[in-house]
Amino acid sequence: MQLENYIRDIQGFPKEGILFKDITPLLNDAQATQECLKTLAASLKGQKINKVVGAESRGFLFGILLAQELNAGFIPVRKHGKLPYDTVSVSYDLEYGTDTLEIHKDAIQKGDKVLIHDDVLATGGTAKAVCDLVEKLGGEIVQFNFLMELTFLNGREKLNGYNIFAAVTY
């Protein structure tokens, strides 16, 4: 199954000049969703992971499924002001502005083996911000998983030294 066939391009979203990769057709097809999950999980074979961190908000979709598959806890990383408990935060640049992400300060214990999942690796700003949060709390990043990678934006450069997997590359 070609997962690319279930990802559509939306020109000019969320603002002019951006080509947005829309995964809702993939989510709308049970077989494509299952195939995507199998592909993402296969990249983790033999890895010891006890926490999966999903980045707001599309990273939650497969992040929680991966956590279930791995029998691991799931941790949401959210935008500023969205988590109810004490948080640790980091500001970062993304391909069309700046933002702040937060994680509960008790979500990760020193030495936790962490998978970071998000829908797309673009410029690497969001992924690096999540990485900084996880490491600030003492987590050890085992791998970054992405549904897709936009290679022409060179996001991997911000994640040098980490294992990275993307189910689809553009």
Q: Which residues carry out catalysis?
A: 58, 95
Structural domains present in the chain: 47-169 (3.40.50.2020)
Instruction: For residues 19 and 170, give the distance between their C-alpha atoms in angstroms, rounded to a whole number.
Output: 12
Percentage of the chain modeled with pLDDT above 90: 92
Q: Is 25:166 a contact under the CB 8 Å cutoff?
A: no
- pLDDT band for 14, please (50, 70, 90 cuts): confident
Instruction: Give residue 94's pLDDT.
Output: 63
Q: Could you report the per-residue pLDDT of 80-132, keeping only the tens digit for each?
A: 999 999 999 999 876 566 899 999 999 999 999 999 999 999 989 999 999 99
Question: Side-chain half-sphere of 3: how many Cα atoms within 13 Å?
Answer: 23
Q: What are phi and psi of 74, to 5 degrees?
A: -115, 135
Instruction: For residues 156 and 140, give the distance between their C-alpha atoms in angstroms, rounded to a whole number.
Output: 18
Instruction: For residues 41 and 8, give the distance between their C-alpha atoms in angstroms, rounded to a whole number.
Output: 23
